[in-house]
Amino acid sequence: MNAINRLNAEDTDFPMQLHNLLSRETDTGTDVQDVVAEILQQVRSHGDKALCDYSQQFDAWNCTPENMVIDRDRMATAWHAVDEKDRSALTLATQRIKDYHQHQLQKDWNITDAQGFTLGQRITPLDRVGLYVPGGKAAYPSSVLMNAVPAMVAGVADVRMVVPTPAGEINDLVLAAAHISGVQEAYAVGGAQAIAALAYGTKTIAAVDKIVGPGNKFVAAAKRQVFGHCGIDMIAGPSEIAIVADGGNPDWLAADFLSQAEHDEAAQSIFISTDASLMNAVEAAIFRHLTTLPRAAIAKASLRNHGAFILVKDMATAASVVNTIAPEHLELAVDDPDGLLPLIRHAGAIFMGHYAPEALGDYLAGPNHVLPTNRTARFSSPLGVYDFQKRSSVIRCGQKALQHVGHAAIHLANREGLYAHALTLALRLNTQVNTQEGLQ
């Protein structure tokens, strides 16, 4: 490729151009959905046998119920096998992630209102969660930490992990991350079959209450299909970054642009600026970096199919474009990011200024790197402690409080034609239910 696609926000057809740019296939293909539905059904019906058969077929290793299990001892062995620098970095990241997520803990609360009701909320952790950690094109110990640490902070008692193991290779750094973050047990399986095992359970893998963590389109489709049988965090698509810049070092900005493109051919990088000459300098730097990056072929495919530079007339327009994109990662590489931040409504994680590249958030800034993709930042949030806790409403009402509001509740129940509802209140108030007061 010789150039990156360019758009101008002043063009009359820019909204359609932007729509086309953002339209990326994820897990919507019928072929993917049908394949995944069959896998889920087979694992649900045949348990470990189907799980191992699919692992043999897709990951090319001789899976058995015994050798798929990775216990705490194996994780501890991996912890001691990795380099001291690995342990130091994982320890620092774990502590920073823990410190950040401690602030997300929700607490029980209650109030007593004017009528005498005591109303409140009780917070309880989930019992068991399953973490999906991506594998295949790269190993992601950081994903282990980002999924497991918030669960531990939330108080989840039982945290399980599944991780793909192509050709039976198990990454020690991933297991070391599982060790330090407190994962109780892991399984050397991946793909839609691993999601099925977590959702429905097998003899070896206990069913979980919620599945979290990103994966490929088959994993995403599987999570969509098991939702309702268990909870999920989100449907994660390919990685994304949008960079808004009004100046800065072109080499830095180019590297930031490539930071998501190297993840996957379907990843998307978008650069937004008021300065066409800066775009030229960043584009030149991108192609210089590509000559040395080991994953250049992946990055080139991403840029060719999904990358773009967008020229805007001012920063207000830049913010408007960002809000349409609703990116997973947003860098405000501008001199006054605090002035621009109030205009940003939709983004998964926002990186402020010239010294906060997205990669900090991937590893050890503290906030979670499991983020909404595919424009879902318009209505969803990063993974956090709140994803591993649930809320129960608490209602306490005495006789006097019921007398204040009970007759109105009876009226509403009657109007809905739900007379047994009304009766529960009328008996306590020693009054009659008017069965002629139903809906008309």
List active site positions. 328-329
Q: Quick one: tokens of 62?
A: 């001789």
Cα maximum dimension of the chain = 84
CB 174 within 8 A of CB 164: no
Beta bridge partners of 349: 329
Q: Quick one: tokens of 324?
A: 């349409």
Instruction: Name the nearest CA neighbour of 257 among 227, 222, 293, 226.
Output: 293
- 120-155 core/surface letters (b: 16 or more CB in 10 A; e: else): eeebebbebbbbbbbbeeebbbbbbbbbbbbbbbbe
Instruction: Name the nearest CA neighbour of 371 among 346, 340, 349.
Output: 349
CA distance to 16, 172, 343, 407, per residue, from 369 (Å):
30, 21, 22, 51
Q: Quick one: tokens of 270?
A: 């978008």
Kindly give, in sequence order, each residue whose CB lies less than 8 Å from that of residue 285, ignoring residues fewer than 6 positions away.
Answer: 250, 251, 253, 254, 255
Q: Quick one: tokens of 31?
A: 């072929």
Q: In what helix (H) or strand (E) does residue 37 lie, and over which residues does it extend?
A: helix 30-46
Beta bridge partners of 162: 132, 187
Instruction: Name the nearest CA neighbour of 158 among 184, 124, 178.
Output: 184
Q: Taking phi first (over 0 means left), then psi (-120 to 50 degrees means alpha), and beta for anything else, what does residue 353 get?
A: left
